[in-house]
Amino acid sequence: MRARAITHATPAESIGERVRATGKRMTVQRRLVLEALQQAKHHTTAEEIASRIRRQYPQIDPSTVYRNLEALEELGLVTHTHFEDRVTRWHLADAHRHGHLICRSCGAELEVPMSLLEPLAAKLRAKHGFVADLAHSAVVGVCSACASVSSR
């Protein structure tokens, strides 16, 4: 058995196959984008991905990162979410899905299990036939620490 540089839920080989199966190619840059996403574990920004890649591949261009993220998202391998700023966060599609709570006062990020958000999704589906993706945008509010300070 061949040694693997990457030990992850989805082996690099099958990702390569999925990419090639659609007529797309597995380039060095595309692999590096995928590796950067795996190493980050949680959500990252395109800029973070670019600068991480730049360490071993300095000529990487931001536009290449963006184009790859878009291509990989089309293949269903990558998804993105929105926080409170203007920056898109990216992660592997098979990564552990969860909701995000963002404190508008201190910027703290909390993660909550999807099971907590699911009842609302079920209600929206039942009442409006709307299939909500509650992990797509962070929930904005005030965290417990900031709330207790401001209520004094």
Partner DNA sequence: TTACCTGCAAACTGTTTGCCGCTGT
Partner DNA sequence: ACAGCGGCAAACAGTTTGCAGGTAA
From its own copies, DNA, none, interface partner of 16 (C-beta below 5 to 8 A by class): DNA
Both tokens of 107, joined, read 């910027």
Q: How far is CA 79 from CA 73, 74, 100, 105, 124, in A?
A: 6, 9, 15, 27, 22
Side-by-side strand order, sheet with 78-82: 44-45, 88-92, 78-82
Measured CA to CA, the distance from residue 44 to residue 134 in angstroms comes to 18
Q: Give me the 90-109 binding string for its own copies, x by CB under 8 A, dash otherwise.
A: -----------x-xx-----
Residue 94 interacts with, from its own copies, DNA, none (CB under 5-8 Å by kind): none
Q: Could you tell me the smallest distance in angstroms from the CB atom of residue 141 to DNA? A: 20
Looking only at the bridges linking them, the beta strands covering 78-82 and 88-92 are antiparallel
CA 95 – CA 105 distance, rounded (Å):
28
- Under the criterion CB under 8 A, does residue 136 sit at the interface with its own copies? yes
Does position 13 bind DNA by CB under 7 A? no
Near DNA in 50-79, by CB under 7 A: 57, 59-64, 66-68, 70-71
Q: By C-beta, is 43 or 117 nearer to DNA?
A: 43
The answer to whether 77 and 9 are in contact (CB under 8 A) is no
**Binding positions for its own copies, rule: CB under 8 A:** 82, 86, 101, 103-104, 110, 112, 116-117, 119-120, 123-124, 127-134, 136-144, 147-148
- Under the rule (CB under 7 A), what is the footprint of DNA? 16, 19-20, 23-30, 45-47, 57, 59-64, 66-68, 70-71, 85-88
